[in-house]
Amino acid sequence: MRHPIRHFLQFNDLTADEHAWIFQRAAWIKRKFKAYEPYRPLSDRTLAMIFEKASTRTRVSFEAGMYQLGGSVVHLTTGDSQLGRAEPIEDSARVISRMVDLVMIRTYGQDKIARFAEYSRVPVINGLTNEFHPCQILADIFTFIEHRGSIAGKTVAWVGDGNNMANTWLQAAELLGFTVHVSTPRGYEIDEQLAVGPDGASTSSYKIYSNPLDACRGADLVTTDVWTSMGYEAENEERRKAFADWRVDPEMMQAAAPDALFMHCLPAHRGEEVEAEVIDGPQSVVWDEAENRMHVQKALMEFLLLGRVAD
Ligand code: CP
Ligand code: NVA
């Protein structure tokens, strides 16, 4: 019998228990990778990757990860497929999902990926939308766990845009029991409804701060992102002015807990959202964070295709 299809379109498409499983599998899969021990449970499986926006990490981590698991990949972009020539998303979903076992999509509106998933015969993974970036938060939390242990009860400071990363952090906090201190410039606030849902969040899962320094006080992790996300380039100049005080600097890291980590999903702009001293400094774990995209996504693909496999 076929398993019911599971998608990963938002962080809370998986339960807290399933996330714990994926973190544990990612650690096991990473250990095998580091020991050069082959692990190929997805031989003969194919992943289609659809990119409507640019990518370095997402493409390399999914593509290398799928090959390492024994599978293969098909890479499609808007420019080189019928997706860019207005073939309906529902038709693309029907066709592509008859030929591959798994689909990863990076696109604009979340509605587009939701429509694709509705018509797909196979699991669909969100590789970033305007609203969410769940694979990145999987990697970020896995990285936190590797360095500091469980994230439950900890505090994450979000400094910057109320964007796809911020929304996903809020969802994760609600699901996994930690707190996010959010500081965004006026006009760039998070969409609380989108991030935590119509029922609201538990009182401890996030707090809003007008001053980014206050958001960082006592935080176990300080994190930020570009001032202008993909798709918002027309607002670049306006944003440069609005975000000038939302730059993670040594003073903010000083205000955080003494053993606080710094993360950034990358690509980063030194001198804009973060000072070089911070991102290139001793508290920064951005390179582990980037590498861990591959390990957590391997665990995610294994889970979506094979369920909870035994070691
Ligand atoms: N962090 C991240 O998703 O990077 P890319 O845009 O390079 O995929
Ligand atoms: N918020 C950024 C993340 C890039 C990985 C964007 O959407 O462009």
**Best CA proximity match to 191, nearest among 135, 142, 129, 143:** 129
Residue 62 has pLDDT above 90, yes or no: yes
Relative to beta strand 261-264, strand 179-183 is unpaired
pLDDT in tens, 14-41: 999 999 999 999 999 999 999 999 999 9
Averaged pLDDT for residues 144-173 = 97
Per-residue pLDDT for 199 more than 90?
no
Q: Which CATH number fits domain 136-289: 3.40.50.1370, 3.40.50.920, 2.60.40.1840, 3.40.190.10?
A: 3.40.50.1370
Q: Which one of the listed residues 19, 25, 45, 133 is annotated catalytic?
A: 133
The CATH homologous superfamily of the domain defined by 11-133+291-306? Aspartate/ornithine carbamoyltransferase (3.40.50.1370)
Share of the chain above pLDDT 90, in %: 91
Task: Name the catalytic one among 19, 59, 181, 293.
Answer: 293
What was the pLDDT predicted at 3?
A: 60
Q: What is the pLDDT of residue 186?
A: 97
**Residue 57 CA to ligand 2 centre (angstroms):** 11
Q: Taking a C-beta distance cutoff of 8 angstroms, is the pair 243, 273 a contact?
A: yes
Q: Give me the mean pLDDT over the 132-147 stretch.
A: 98
Residue closest to 297 by CA, chosen among 54, 135, 59, 67: 135
Average pLDDT over residues 134-154: 98
Ligand 1 centroid, distance to 89 Cα (angstroms): 23
Question: Is 70 exceeded by the pLDDT of residue 118?
Answer: yes
Which residue has 């997402």 as its token pair?
Answer: 58
User: Average pLDDT, whole number, for the chain?
Assistant: 96
What is the pLDDT confidence band of residue 167, given thresholds at 50, 70 and 90? Answer: very high
Q: What is the location of CATH 3.40.50.1370 in the chain?
A: 11-133+291-306, 136-289
